[in-house]
Structure 1
């Protein structure tokens, strides 16, 4: 039992009972809230999900471009150059778009902090430079998948088949990871991403083929 010390009841200002620190007597370390570093897992999940979506965008847009050009040009050089152009243009677009978007959010949150007189939490604000770089890298990683799949295959039909197969596998993986991060149904989310990717590649291939036939 912990000893107690009571103030005199004759003291009208206070009638408190102080318990001795039993935890410290027993060797238990009491951690105050200031000593606990809380990691924001929700924030990490947002970044991971954004990275997965960026990689998926790079994968699908680059693969669709390559399939579209492959509909009218059968040589591997043209397809690869198209994929490289798509990777560079897409990564730059993603980086600039993310930079502008996150910087706007940064300005809004900073203005709100100043109105509230809170100037100590600037480190918690979104970083537009980090977001921009992350988007560009994620897009580039996704775009490299169809490029590497097609780079060393000279036969036209085999090349298209390999690109579709590799992209389909990657779509399933990205869809599954996105489902886990978003706590969505795994199978439905993966199939939704896969079917959407097939439609994007098929429509791009078909319309480009049609445009080539009519002489556009």
Structure 2
């Protein structure tokens, strides 16, 4: 009666810093049919792979928050400036008036976004700093550890600058689109077209960051932008006709 060959058993163990693959092989040439102890491990092969985290989950939360805020700021700049230019374009046909209105909207919006972000982040900074001071007194935290945690707090100036920059970048899209088109109707069409493409891009980027449907997010942002521009244009046109 034939003696069955020993099987191969593979054991995989891993931690946050490394994992090992242990393969237990029994050499058939060394098997004694009369010795049951030979069923135990006779040789062990270990493959170690260092610096590989099998269960690693990269934390992009902080980076994603900043990028998401930048996308929202750019979207606000694009939509508010385009709507403002469309509103003025409803009652004035010259390109100079539309461009100056867009520039005024860019500057005012960027300043507003920067100041609002500065106040908001500074309030958060003060709250977290006060909490850290209380923890330092209660837990006797080392000064180096305290300084390291303090350096990780959000910077109000950096947040304000990033918000203003993002708003300005978004506002430049309709401005640059309208600056080189002299014909009135063509200029309005170019502003809407350029803004629509940018809205789709911002919606897609927001969907990527939020890991949601790309098509639904882009369409939602696009339709919302069309509604904002259409309502602004229509109401301004109506108000201009009744002579208010």
The interval holding the TM-score normalised by the smaller chain is 0.7 to 0.9
Find the counterpart in structure 1 of residue 217 from structure 2: 189
Q: How far apart are 1:182 and its partner, in Å? A: 1.2
Structure 1 segments unaligned to the other structure (5+ residues): 1-25, 32-37
Larger Rg: 2
Please give the alpha-carbon distance, in whole angstroms, between the structure 1 residues aligned to 2:194 and 2:226.
Answer: 12
Deviation track 1:71-104 (CA, whole Å, cap 9, x = no partner) reads: 0000000000000000000000000000000000
Q: Which residue of 1 aligns with 2:133?
A: 114
- Determine which structure has the larger strand proportion and give its number: 2
Bigger relative contact order (CA 8 A; separation at least 6)? 1
* Change beyond 3 A, Cα 1:30–1:181: closer
Q: TM-score, normalised by structure 1?
A: 0.82
Q: Given the alignment of the two structures, is residue 44 of structure 1 paired with residue 63 of structure 2, yes or no? A: yes
Residue 82 of structure 2 is aligned to residue 54 of structure 1: no
| Partner of residue 87 from structure 1, selected from 100, 106, 130 | 106
2:187 corresponding residue in structure 1: 159
Structure 1 counterpart of 2:199: 171
Q: In the aligned structure 1, how far is the partner of 2:50 from the partner of 2:83? A: 59
The equivalent position to 1:198 in structure 2, one of 217, 220, 226, is 226
1:21 aligned partner: none
Mapped partners of 1:164, 1:41: distance in 2: 34
* Corresponding position: 1:68 with 2:96: no
Deviation string 1:123-174 (CA, Å, 9 cap, x unpaired) is 1111100000000000000000000000010100000001100100000000
* Whole-Å separation in 1 of the counterparts to 2:168 and 2:222: 19
The normalised TM-score by structure 2 is 0.72
In angstroms, what is the RMSD of aligned CA positions?
1.7
* Aligned-partner Cα distance in 1 for 2:50–2:234: 68
Matches within 5 A, 1:12-31: none
Distance 1:30 1:212 in 2: 72
The runs of 5 or more residues in structure 2 that have no matched partner are 1-45, 52-56
Matched, 1:148 2:186: no
Bigger proportion of residues as helix: 1
